[in-house]
């Protein structure tokens, strides 16, 4: 099977990216009207001053390549997992059970080949709301327990704003 001139399995370089541009105020009005946006325009995930999120613009591109021997020349994370929350009570209320499941799965994958692996930073969705942030923080605590060693719970959107369609790639790069 050919894919853009390459045989499947022989691609030596891939460009992976995402872009978020706020070109109209339509979504800003909708999100603001729903009470999802921060009055200050800043995301303060896991902060007592959290009052919603700030929208962000950005673009991120990663180049993933192999070397002459076919070995990976660029690695970012030892494991990556995605999930779908399923039914939640609202758009801003993540499922704690689903959050815990995805963190536990990622931890199992990361430690499969490295028994000494210890999460130092957990990059979370971080809704920046009094409803969503405790659900996510408690899910991380249940999944990871209270182990020794420094650990930080962070949300990339607190640094860059919520890059909406580019949020995944921006967070991957921040990790």
CATH of the domain at 132: 3.40.47.10
Whether 1 has a pLDDT exceeding 50, the answer reads: no
Domain hosting residue 144, numbered range: 2-174
Task: Write the pLDDT tens digit of every residue in 101-156.
Answer: 888 887 787 777 666 666 677 778 888 888 888 988 898 888 887 665 557 788 88
Instruction: Say how far apart CA 25 and CA 30 lie, in whole Å.
Output: 9
Look at the chain and report how many structural domains it folds into: 1
Q: What is the pTM for the complete model shown?
A: 0.71
What are the distances in angstroms from CA 26 to CA 29, 30, 55, 100?
Answer: 5, 6, 13, 34
Token digits for 68? 């002459």
pLDDT, tens only, 78-95: 556 667 777 777 777 788
Distance CA(156)–CA(175), nearest Å, equals 9
Q: How many CB atoms lie within 10 A of CB 137?
A: 18
């Amino acid at each position: 099977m050919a894919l853009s001139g390459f045989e499947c399995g022989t691609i030596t370089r891939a460009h992976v990216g995402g872009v978020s541009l706020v070109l109209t105020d339509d979504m800003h009005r909708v999100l603001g009207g729903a009470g999802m946006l921060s009055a200050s325009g800043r995301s303060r995930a896991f902060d007592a001053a959290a009052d919603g999120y700030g929208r962000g613009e950005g673009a991120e591109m990663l180049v993933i390549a192999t070397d002459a021997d076919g070995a990976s020349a660029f690695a970012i994370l030892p494991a990556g997992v995605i999930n779908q929350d399923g039914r939640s009570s609202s758009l801003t209320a993540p499922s704690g059970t689903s959050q815990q499941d995805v963190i536990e799965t990622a931890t199992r994958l990361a430690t499969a080949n490295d028994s000494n692996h210890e999460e130092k930073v957990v990059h979370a969705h971080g809704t920046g709301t009094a409803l969503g942030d405790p659900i996510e923080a408690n899910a991380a605590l249940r999944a990871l327990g209270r182990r020794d060693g420094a650990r930080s719970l962070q949300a990339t959107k607190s640094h860059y704003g919520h890059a909406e369609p580019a949020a995944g790639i921006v967070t991957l790069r921040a990790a």
